[in-house]
Amino acid sequence: MPRLLSNLTLALLAALAVPAQAAVFYSNDFEASAAGMSGAGFLAGSQGFSAYGFGSQYFRNSSFGNPAASSVLGLSLGSAATAVTLNFDLAAIDSWDGFNCCGPDFFNVKLDGTTIYSKNFDIFGSPSTGPELSNLVYGPNVAVAGWGDQGYKVALSLGNLSAGAHTIEFFASGAGWQGGDDESFAIDNVVVEGDSAGGGQLPEPASLALFSLALLGAGAVRRSRA
């Protein structure tokens, strides 16, 4: 292949490739609805957590069991995505025992059925720490029953996601998990975002026309040199 044609073709193919674009795949502050959520959990007033960025409502899960039933976020991506992140606020409500007598009490996240996060929370010791956590409130009773409560911002990486359906599950577990109004959790301000690869999108007609014209031009160059 003549070098001119080769270079021109490669340049045009590069120009036609759809660049990855930042995209928000899910966002919900639960002030109006629980759209996108299924499984366990319900909209509830955020009570004293409203002073810590939770607004008027959050999505609460007070399930029993080990593991307790999941709150499930369903996603459907039109294109593959890279560098996907999951950010949310977590209210660990009431007597999470952690390293106390009646723990452990884990909060967990699953992506497509695989556990990607598991952390033991304890209201009787000190706030949980980690690069993924920033503490919003720890100690005072701000919601539900008289036990102290804790709130965090949580930032997790989900990596690359293929086009199609995905599930993110939020649930509690642990030998000490008691559930109900003794210990429960709520999520809020859930945002899933990343770079949309644009895979599966067809080039726009204008681009195709330009590409065809350029190929014709390249062919003319090749013929003139033959």
- Given the rule CB under 5 A, which of 32-40, 117-125, 186-194, 217-225 is the region that contacts Ca ion? 186-194
Size of residue set near Ca ion by CB under 5 A: 15
Smallest distance from Ca ion to CB 105, Å: 4
Cβ proximity to Ca ion: between 54 and 185 the closer is 54
Cβ proximity to Ca ion: between 40 and 197 the closer is 40
What's the rounded Cα separation, in Å, for the pair 218 and 2? 10
As a dihedral over the C-alpha atoms of residue 131, residue 133, residue 135, residue 136, rounded to 10 degrees, the angle is 140
Residues in 92-121 that interact with Ca ion by CB under 5 A: 94, 97, 102, 105
What's the rounded Cα separation, in Å, for the pair 106 and 103? 8
Q: Single out the residue of 25, 26, 28, 30 in contact with Ca ion (rule: CB under 5 A).
A: 30
Smallest distance from Ca ion to CB 171, Å: 14
Is the C-alpha dihedral spanning 27, 31, 33, 39 positive or negative?
Answer: positive
- Given the rule CB under 5 A, which of 70-78, 113-121, 133-141, 203-211 is the region that contacts Ca ion? 133-141
| DSSP H or E segment with residue 207 | helix 205-225
Place of tokens 């859930």: 190
By the rule CB under 5 A, 53 interacts with Ca ion: no
By the rule CB under 5 A, 147 interacts with Ca ion: yes
Smallest distance from Ca ion to CB 39, Å: 19
What's the rounded Cα separation, in Å, for the pair 145 and 173? 20
E strands present in the chain: 21-28, 37-39, 42-45, 57-61, 71-77, 81-94, 106-111, 114-120, 133-138, 150-161, 164-173, 183-196
Instruction: Give contact residues for Ca ion (rule: CB under 5 A).
Output: 29-30, 54-55, 94, 97, 102, 105, 141, 144, 147, 149, 176, 178, 188
